[in-house]
Amino acid sequence: MKRTVQTRRPSFPAVPFDQHLVPPPGVRWHVVCGDEGHWRAGMYSPPEASASEVVELEKHDCPELFLLVSGQVTLVVAEPGGTREIALRPGVPVLIASPHGGYCPNGPHTGVAFVVERDVFDTEYRSVEEWMRGAGG
């Protein structure tokens, strides 16, 4: 079932400058910081361990950048005719605009990706099946 979430300012926490920003472990998505009117950044570490466990995909109304920090994270993206998996590689950013979700192939929260996105956007969530039927994708 389709649902839409609006992300509006303030969309990131106030944090001290010139210090380490340590996200909590074992969390799917944690917004770390941002620059109001421009971007926000966070750490993504999904609990799913395989593509078959990814039952919902999200699509922002703007692209977002993923960069592998540690472990392994694979993104699942919906495309015409099916889904495709993109295994993130260390030091190689990927700009995602399609409906997407992700998993850690070595087990829940064993990989972490750094993500940069706008600080104001709308996100549409649908099941993988709904995206594959072309419902609004």
User: Among candidates 48, 75, 47, 41, which has minimal Cα distance to 59?
Assistant: 75
CATH of the domain at 95: 2.60.120.10
Residue 11 lies in a domain: no
User: In this structure, are strands 64-70 and 56-60 parallel, antiparallel, or unpaired?
Assistant: unpaired
User: Among candidates 121, 111, 94, 119, which has minimal Cα distance to 32?
Assistant: 119
Mean pLDDT to the nearest integer, 129-134: 86
Query: Residue 118 belongs to what domain range?
Result: 25-132
Domain count for the chain, please give it: 1
Residue 56: both structure tokens together: 């919902």
pLDDT by residue (tens digit) across 9-43?
889 999 999 999 998 999 999 999 999 999 999 99
Residue 15 lies in a domain: no
What pLDDT does 1 receive?
Answer: 80
pLDDT by residue (tens digit) across 66-122?
999 999 999 999 998 899 999 999 999 999 999 999 999 999 999 999 999 999 999
Is it the case that residue 137 has pLDDT exceeding 80? no
What pLDDT does 136 receive?
Answer: 45
Residue 12 lies in a domain: no
